[in-house]
Structure 1
């Protein structure tokens, strides 16, 4: 196992040099625990180095964790991470929480995605994950998703895009397919704030180095852009109506009532951080799904 190999360019290289005594990548020190004084000293040097260039909250919650939190890499697990000994609870790099939480840390009261939730919190027999997966079974792909996905790739791979960077076209049109699949909303109906947050979010992931100015600007765009999804907000009410409408439409003889979809459990606040779906079983054994946003 190895510690994270730090990026080696520009300001990051200087930062690495300033903390190298405490955070060496060599095998001789990888297993040695770091002393509290060494961590405090390295944190102080990082604050001094970046505090004039970046927002203090960003330095504390993005840059410091990026350098001071170790990430270990090993062989890919042969078995699914489904046991409680290897939990997925809040399994996100510490420096990235500011992208999905206004408080820069886990905030389950504002909404939880099943992908960052431990098995013990998903309900009996992994219920939340099972509900999510009901939207992507083979018998539903053809009637619900196939035409939209085919149209998306026909446009992406159209002759007009020949000779152009494919990923640029993909990122520019991604939110069209994302919102269309989830809520049946597309084109100009997609809120401008969502497009802005999505573009900034992808930029941060592409560079993945919080000491770069372009990462800082886009990170803070996501952090500071507020999309109100509460029950009384315009966007929240619209999402709630779309979710309920799509569930009603999918309770048809040709599809059945298994449609409480992944489409309604949206992963981050790029759509609505508080969107959620809960389930309960009635006396006759039927499962009732309740959405909230």
Structure 2
């Protein structure tokens, strides 16, 4: 039964990611928005649903610090592992002019949360600041997209189908990720793998599976803007949206290791992605291998 659930999880991730990419692309064409903006918002925020669920549940249970580890670990995996794999499968080459603003917001979000974690607390006021950052990002992204994106021919397909495909894809992705994480954990325990290794690998990457499925399929379909926008948007939303919401629900008392250890890796990932994107004009296969090797080093060290 466990093997069947594992297989069903994989199938759900594939078809959910395929539906999400197709639907999001159709929405972008209809509203004359760039695929990058759709990737940053609808796709990026949507694939962060597992992280949001975990963080809000932790906050309501009086364990808001779990939200920090969830978000930081997800941001590291999103860049080093998921973009690394996606770039190896299909080079993610995007003009720098389409990346600089959004990478800048990601770096700003990273710096902001690091500063907030230095005193060991993320207060409700900090939560308000983070949510405000998310609003500024969204307004800037949509306003800029409307100016930069040329008009295109609208398809004959009804918009409700595109939205249904997008939302349905998100739901299937979340269900698939849950099935895969639960079944993989059971299989790991059956083979005698320790709880620590399970936590650092299966569970840590588990909430990022929707991003992995979506970015991989987008890369294979040559929708590179959605593939990259999905990850950058997810990382921005994880910090501004998820930690902002969690802090508003329950102020976060953070373990000192988050600021002294984990934030260093989050920053290395964010800065590394930005440097590679600007120097190489995107993420060619060699950059993908570099990101994956860095993630392997991170897992080995922790």
Structure-2-length-normalised TM-score: 0.26
Structure with larger RCO (C-alpha < 8 A, sep 6+): 2
Q: As a proportion of its length, which structure holds more helix?
A: 2
